[in-house]
Every structure is written in structure tokens, then in C-alpha cells.
Structure 1
Amino acid sequence: MSVLVLGGYGAVGAHLVRLLRADGIPALAAGRDAARADRVVDLATMDSIGTALSGVSMVVNCAGVEDIRLAKECAHRGLPFVEISATSDYVQALERVAGPMVLGVGLAPGLTTLLAVDALSSDAGPVDIMIGLGSGEHHGPAATAWTYRLMGQHFPDPDGTAVRNFTRPTHFTIPEQAGYKPFPALRADFADQHRLTHEFAVPVRTYLRLDSRLATAGLAGLTWAPALRALAPPRMPGSDRWVVLARTANGATRWASGRGQSLATAAVAAATVREITRHRIIEPTWIHELFDLDQLRRDLPAMGIFISAT
């Protein structure tokens, strides 16, 4: 068993390579920089992907490249392809690939998905998911660019209306130990809300806020003038502290918190890789179809990640 980590020396990938190797799982960091990569591959051209895939048993995409051809090439070879992206259109395209795709792996989707499913196990729903990110974390330009790309874009709400990203502010009660001051979160298009709404036949809605009120207000303002996003700073004020929670209509809440969203995403991805080694994946599979929240309750506290009890 060997795992090829695309973007393996990046913000998430470097953590994942380290965690897998610590578990005794051979992991190869892939990227364009020959000085840092175990396997050199340029995903912008796709010409070298065949060579990079030679002899590996699984691929985890931490590169931020959303190219369906890459997933299809892995599927053609029967290689499980693990994707950490939250982009709804791309993830929905992956669901249609005939092969072993593993979707919704990371902090959000991923941990948020498992929190929502756990909440739905004791309450019929609907469920609101809140994602609070540390806007000051230096977690790589790809994550910042992804967030800015949502500005001005619309996505479907469970009620059939179109929702503009970073609108419809809503308050959540956040546990004091999470270290987040109370102010509203904003609707945002993360892929798992659509999957869970369809699967459980109840509305699931996702909201995003940052630990900085100023940075969150900036998202709310710029979504009405997305052409100005080029003026937004690549790094915003704030810390590296994150919190995610799922809240049912009856007020039941599941939540988790920690520091460093890149580390949290890598930790969930490492747990997913371990689970795939014990199960044969033959078709597109979401993280909650592989394991439940209890698995992460056992695995993640060692990395400083707290997950609430039921």
C-alpha cells in the first residue's frame, strides 16, 4: 500500500504525508518542484500523471486542482481517488465518475458532514452547519482563492430559491471554549449540504464565518461587488483557531474545534486513508459512508482537536 499525495509539500499535503508515514503507510509527495517532490508531476498539463501513478495504490488530491480528467485516470486504473475539495459542481461531477472516488474529505466537508449525520441520528432535522475558520492562518493561497471565488456566485437552497454566497446572516451559539466571539455567519456553498439534503430528505444549510468580524464583514460586502475581490488581501486579520458545528431545529448541537485548518483537513484525510485500506471502494463514496463521528473521536484528540460528546 502506497499513497500518492498530490500537492504533497503544500499546506495540507505536507501534514498528510507526515501523518501517513507516522502510521507506517508509505506516502509519496507529488508536485512540480523536483527539490521537494518524491514524484514530479505538473497537473496543469496532465502529461506526466501516468508516470506519477505508476506503482501506487491510492491517490489523495491536496493540490487544489479540480480536473475531472485526473479522477477519471485514477478510476481507469482502479485507484481510489480521495478528494478534499469543497466545490459543489466539481464534487457532483466526481459523483458521476465510474470508479472508486472518496468525497467530502477534510474539515468542511468532512468533519462537518460527520457532525451533521451524527446530529441527524437523534433528530429528524433540518440541520444548519456553521464553519468558523481562522482567517489569520497561513493555510495557503489556494484556500483563500477558493473562498474569494465564491463571491457573487449563487447556489440552490433546499427551498428551491437561489442563494448568493455570503448573505443571509444567521446567529449561532458557539461554545465558549471554542474562542469565537458571537457575530453572524453567512450562507456559503459547501458541497456536503447538497448531498445531505438529498440523502436525508431534510434541509441542510451551511454558513461560514471567520474569527475576525472585520474579515467576515468584508466577505459580506465584496459578494455584492465581486469584481473588487482582486483588492482583497491574500491574508486577512485573525488567528488559526477554527470551530465547526451542526445544529438541529430542536437545538441539539454537535461541534468540534482546534487550531490549524490545514492540519485538521490532513488529520481527517489520514483517517480516511486508513479506513480505505480496510474496505474495498468500487464507486463514488462519501466520508460518512465509510465511518462515523466516533472514529474521529478516537483519532483526533491526539492532534489537539476537540469533538463534543453526544
Structure 2
Amino acid sequence: MTSVLVLGGYGAVGAHVVKRLRADGADALAAGRDPARADRVVDLTDPRSLGSGLDGVSAVVNCSGSEEPAVAAAVAGNGIPFVDITATSGYAKQLERVDGPVLLGVGIAPGLSSLLAAEAARAGGTVDVLIGLGAGEAHGPAATAWTYGLLGKRFDDPDGSRVRNYTRPTRFDLPAEAGYPRFPALRTDFADQHRLTADLGVPVRTYLRLDSRLATLGLAALTWAPRIAALIPAGGMPGGDGWVIAARGGDGRSWWATGRVQSRATAEVAAQAVRRMLQSPITAPTWLHQAASLDELRPALEAAGIALGTG
């Protein structure tokens, strides 16, 4: 039986990944520091702990929120595929330099968003990618830290300019299935937009909005005063758990996906990515859109309750 070690395997996303892999017949092992919840006790700050945790493992999925390239290098250096769900641009660039099998951008954004963008790019011209997330979902601490960590920071646009996160509002036509009210999305630095721009040969720009207008406007305001974010009380924001991704090509046509519970959808994409990677091994850092297509993953995604369409 194939053994897959899931770092952060009892967290918001990791628990779903473990469950999904086990449903596929894999021996999924939840890894973490808590012996009461972990199948294998692994402390990512202790190289010896990580080394022993890899015994008999065919692949590792990082859902821990830890963005330490040395961990990826230690795993991939042993010839074990390392799958990462991160959306952070700087960390993704570090993973691209790791020597060994690393699969990047595995989730709904990056991940499913990249597959949709690849379809939209066939029309030529700029591809604009919207990621809509449910503000009311109980996201893990890593996802929350990522969202607030972008406040006030800038990134490179395909035209060479510098863009501040959560600015430049842009409207998208979203599928009725998403149930999202109509209001603008904000430019946001998802890691795959840079790789996609290079790979697809067209400018790719990513945007974020939440299903709550108030929560989205809050990000737009906080990006000009990021220190205030530390004063926001812990807990969920007003909103639901529905998510939507839409990639709009140069001809105005959009490719979209929508569903409920972002963490569960991320786990579905991750599980399918692990399956494909074990069937068709990689030897160097690879992005999901370089290893698979939307049509190849479509049957499994739709079976998991993810709606896909064009319009």
C-alpha cells in the first residue's frame, strides 16, 4: 500500500487531505508535533524528527503552513516527491530552486486556478483570474496569516509596474451557481500568476474577493494601514463557505469552478495531484498546470461536488 505523509495532517486542510487519500486506498499518515493527534510525530524544526518520519513514505504533502525550503529539500533530496499547497510567491520561487521532485501550486488557488487560466489563455490576450473565497469559512491560521501578511506589500505586474495588494478593483461576471453578489475584486499576489505569465506567454493577473462586500472592503482599507490588522479579534468574518474561481481570457470568455468549503476542495485537488504524480513521476520542481490539465482532473473534481463551466 502507498504511504503518504501529510505534514499538518490534523489541521484545517490536512485533515481533509488525509481523509481523501485514505478514501483512495492510500495509507495516509497525519504528521505533526502532537502525539495525541499525529500518526507520526514530526517536528519540522528538528531535522532528525523529519528524517525518521520519512521511513517507508512514497510522497509528502505539506499542509502545515510551514514555508521552509530546507524541509522540501530534505524530502526531495531523498527522492521522495514533495507536494506543497502554498500560495506565497517568495516561497514558491525558493521551491523552484530545490533539487528533486517538488510539485507546486496544489490546491484551488494556486492549482485549480492555474488549470482554468491555461484554458482561458488559448484565446490569447490578457488572462484575469478571480479567486472568490467564503469569508465565513473557518480557515486555518496559515491561511489567515497569508491573507493579512499581504497587507501593504507590493508585487511585480506583467507590465513591469509595482502593484499594492488589495487595490485596483475590477469586476468579473460570475456564474449564478456561485451565489456571489456582484462587486469588484482586488489585485492580489497569488504565486501562480508569475509562473503562468512566463509559461503561457500572455499576461496573467490574479484578483481576490470574499463573498462579503464588507470583508472585501476591509482588506482594501487595511492595505493602507496594515498595522491595524493586529487589532482585529480572532474569529470568522461575516459570510459563507462558498468559493468560486473564474479565469477570463482575451476574448471575454471565462472558465470557472465553484463549490463549498475551500479546505475540502484544496484537499481534493491535492489528492488527485498525488495520484497523478505517483503514476507519472517528476524529477524536478513542477507546477500543477505543467503536470496535468483541467480535462484530466475534471471527472474526479465533478464527482467531489465541484461544478465546472464556461461562459
What's the TM-score, normalizing by structure 1? 0.97
Equivalent position of 2:153 in the other structure: 153
Task: Report the Cα distance in structure 2 between the residues aligned to 1:168 and 1:85, rounded to whole angstroms.
Answer: 24
Q: Quick check: 1:302 aligned with 2:303?
A: yes
Task: Report the Cα distance in structure 1 between the residues aligned to 2:272 and 2:281, rounded to whole angstroms.
Answer: 15
Deviation at 1:144, TM superposition (A): 1.1
Task: Report the Cα distance in structure 1 between the residues aligned to 2:162 and 2:233, rounded to whole angstroms.
Answer: 28
| Structure 2 contact 193–205 (Cα < 8 Å) conserved | yes
Equivalent position of 1:251 in the other structure: 252
Task: Report the Cα distance in structure 2 between the residues aligned to 1:207 and 1:260, rounded to whole angstroms.
Answer: 19
Task: Report the Cα distance in structure 2 between the residues aligned to 1:309 and 1:231, rounded to whole angstroms.
Answer: 41
Equivalent position of 2:204 in the other structure: 204
Q: CA RMSD in A?
A: 1.1
Task: Report the Cα distance in structure 1 between the residues aligned to 2:149 and 2:182, rounded to whole angstroms.
Answer: 26
Q: Quick check: 1:22 aligned with 2:27?
A: no
Task: Report the Cα distance in structure 2 between the residues aligned to 1:192 and 1:274, rounded to whole angstroms.
Answer: 21
> What number of residue pairs does the alignment pair up?
309
- Any stretches of 5+ residues in structure 2 without a counterpart? none
Equivalent position of 1:86 in the other structure: 87
Deviation at 1:42, TM superposition (A): 1.5
SS class of match (2:167): coil
SS class of match (1:288): helix
The structure 1 segments of at least 4 consecutive aligned residues displaced by more than 4 Å after TM superposition are none
| Structure 2 contact 20–271 (Cα < 8 Å) conserved | yes
Deviation at 1:302, TM superposition (A): 2.1
Task: Report the Cα distance in structure 2 between the residues aligned to 1:17 and 1:309, rounded to whole angstroms.
Answer: 31
Task: Report the Cα distance in structure 1 between the residues aligned to 2:248 and 2:101, rounded to whole angstroms.
Answer: 31
Identity in percent: 62
Task: Report the Cα distance in structure 2 between the residues aligned to 1:163 and 1:147, rounded to whole angstroms.
Answer: 16
Equivalent position of 2:7 in the other structure: 6
Equivalent position of 1:126 in the other structure: 126
Q: Quick check: 1:173 aligned with 2:173?
A: yes
Residue by residue over 1:9-44, the C-alpha shift from the partner in whole angstroms, topping out at 9 and shown as x without a partner, is 111111111111111111100011111100001223
Task: Report the Cα distance in structure 1 between the residues aligned to 2:117 and 2:231, rounded to whole angstroms.
Answer: 35
Q: Quick check: 1:218 aligned with 2:208?
A: no
Deviation at 1:249, TM superposition (A): 2.2
Deviation at 1:120, TM superposition (A): 1.6
Equivalent position of 2:62 in the other structure: 61
SS class of match (1:109): coil
Residue by residue over 1:82-104, the C-alpha shift from the partner in whole angstroms, topping out at 9 and shown as x without a partner, is 00000001001111111101011
Deviation at 1:47, TM superposition (A): 4.1
Task: Report the Cα distance in structure 2 between the residues aligned to 1:103 and 1:279, rounded to whole angstroms.
Answer: 15
Segment of structure 1 superposing worse, 13-22 or 38-47: 38-47
| Structure 2 contact 128–247 (Cα < 8 Å) conserved | yes
Equivalent position of 2:44 in the other structure: 43
Segment of structure 1 superposing worse, 167-176 or 300-309: 300-309
| Structure 2 contact 73–98 (Cα < 8 Å) conserved | yes
Task: Report the Cα distance in structure 1 between the residues aligned to 2:198 and 2:89, rounded to whole angstroms.
Answer: 13
- Any stretches of 5+ residues in structure 1 without a counterpart? none
Q: Quick check: 1:184 aligned with 2:160?
A: no
Task: Report the Cα distance in structure 2 between the residues aligned to 1:91 and 1:222, rounded to whole angstroms.
Answer: 25
Letter in 2 for 1:192: D
Equivalent position of 2:238 in the other structure: 237
Equivalent position of 2:272 in the other structure: 271
Equivalent position of 1:115 in the other structure: 116
Task: Report the Cα distance in structure 1 between the residues aligned to 2:189 and 2:109, rounded to whole angstroms.
Answer: 11
Equivalent position of 2:286 in the other structure: 285
Task: Report the Cα distance in structure 1 between the residues aligned to 2:82 and 2:142, rounded to whole angstroms.
Answer: 20
What's the TM-score, normalizing by structure 2? 0.97
Deviation at 1:139, TM superposition (A): 2.1
